[in-house]
Structure 1
Amino acid sequence: MSKKILMIVGDFGEDYEIMVPFQALQAVGHRVDAVCPKKAAGEMIATAIHDFEGDQTYSEKRGHNFALNASFDDVKAEQYDALVLPGGRAPEYLRLNPAVIGMVRYFFETKKPVAAICHGAQILAAAGVLEGRRCSAYPACAPEVELAKGQFVEIPVYEAVTDGNLVTAPAWPAHPTWIAQFLAVLGTKISG
């Protein structure tokens, strides 16, 4: 059965972490509405490409323009079956938006599936939904996960962790595992 999934994005969110789940979830039959505060359907956000090139942290390059397909002001969390929070730099300011925080809390209060990757954990921490939960994220977000009383799970960059309705991963190299675990939580069956 097709699910309706809300994806909250913003300028300079990580390109792969927006594009890949947006496309992959649609490819298996789900509807994904990508929204950004203060922007409407058809408007663009700028993405950033984060890469792991042997430096002490990721490098950042300009990514693609990503077209939003729904308007933030029109969405109601109750109309969705699941939530996706990509990483990149966008979460550092999206977590300051009370409407974003309210939406995130709704998905946890109703125990609906939530997938967050990389810096998406910053939004989870700000929403106060990590207490007692196992959560992976980009390693620089570990202090925020722990300050939010979550258990930071340090795993290889290509792995993911599921804790009940929450699926998290460190960064985009985990897409195959992260998306597969999220599909399992969604109850999506793929036959070959």
Structure 2
Amino acid sequence: MSNDVKLLLLAGDYVEDYEIMVPYQALTMLGYRVDVVCPGKKVGETVLTAIHDFEGAQTYSEKPGHLFKLNATFDAIDTDDYLGLIVPGGRAPEYLRLNPRVIEIVQAFADRPMAAICHGAQLLAAAQVIKGRRVSAYPACKPEVELAGGTYVEVEVTDAVTDGELVTAPAWPAHPTWLAQFLKVLGATITI
């Protein structure tokens, strides 16, 4: 595959480290061009990431992650140029959902391939694109999914849910399943 097939990834400061790094690297390795953007930032600037882990507490722990260099400018994107959208979790969706342009972008992908993981469901709920759909997310997002008219699906942390062209998962341990399901939605076939 050439880098003619473009995917858009919405990022923000304190995006979950694995949930931005792994999809970006895996999809790029497969030949997709993945443009990573953040409101108010330009190509070459960075977002701070956070590492969330499950260490036996009642919720995840958070540690400083890496800097992720953006490879596209938010204000320059045209959603018509992209086949699909990736929405990683972490704390970024919490504030990104307050940006009207971010909401417009998510809405533009309502009927196209879209993959959201963990707290990415906060953006889906705010954009009102999950009504009547089955959605997985980090368990703390269940009320938001349901208030937005979605059906929250509780799955193992290593599993994912596909509803039409929407693929969702609870957290980064689901990457193998989540990405495999997203590739099917994108129409990709991988043979080894």
TM (normalized to structure 2)?
Answer: 0.98
Q: What are the residue-to-residue correspondences of 1:4-19 with 2, within 5 Å?
A: 4-19=6-21
Q: Secondary structure at the match of 1:155?
A: coil
Range 182-191 or range 119-128, more displaced: 182-191
Give, as a single letter, the amino acid of the residue that structure 2 aligns with 1:56. Answer: Q
Distance in 1 between the 2:188 and 2:56 partners? 36
What's the Cα RMSD here? 0.7
- Cα offsets for 1:125-158 (capped at 9, x unmatched): 0001110000000000000000000000000100
Q: Secondary structure at the match of 2:185?
A: helix
Superposed displacement of residue 119, structure 1: 0.1
Number of the residue aligned with 1:81: 83
Distance in 2 between the 1:106 and 1:178 partners? 21
Instruction: Give the counterpart of 1:30 among 29, 32, 50.
Output: 32
The total of aligned residue pairs comes to 190
Q: What are the residue-to-residue correspondences of 1:40-51 with 2, within 5 Å?
A: 40-51=42-53
Give, as a single letter, the amino acid of the residue that structure 2 aligns with 1:125. Answer: A
Tell me if structure 2 keeps the 8 A contact 1:28–1:190: no
Number of the residue aligned with 2:162: 162
Instruction: Give the counterpart of 2:99 among 84, 89, 97.
Output: 97
Superposed displacement of residue 75, structure 1: 0.4
Distance in 1 between the 2:114 and 2:178 partners? 11
Number of the residue aligned with 2:116: 116
Number of the residue aligned with 1:72: 74
- Cα offsets for 1:84-104 (capped at 9, x unmatched): 000000000000000010011
Q: Structure 1 regions of 5+ residues with no counterpart?
A: none
Q: Secondary structure at the match of 2:155?
A: coil
Distance in 2 between the 1:190 and 1:159 partners? 20
Give, as a single letter, the amino acid of the residue that structure 2 aligns with 1:103. Answer: I
Give, as a single letter, the amino acid of the residue that structure 2 aligns with 1:113. Answer: P
Q: Structure 2 regions of 5+ residues with no counterpart?
A: none
Quick check: 1:179 aligned with 2:179?
yes
Tell me if structure 2 keeps the 8 A contact 1:86–1:118: yes
Superposed displacement of residue 112, structure 1: 1.1
Superposed displacement of residue 121, structure 1: 0.2
- Cα offsets for 1:60-93 (capped at 9, x unmatched): 0000000000000000111110000000000000
Superposed displacement of residue 189, structure 1: 1.2
Distance in 2 between the 1:144 and 1:57 partners? 17
Distance in 1 between the 2:190 and 2:95 partners? 36
Superposed displacement of residue 46, structure 1: 0.4
Give, as a single letter, the amino acid of the residue that structure 1 aligns with 2:129. Answer: V
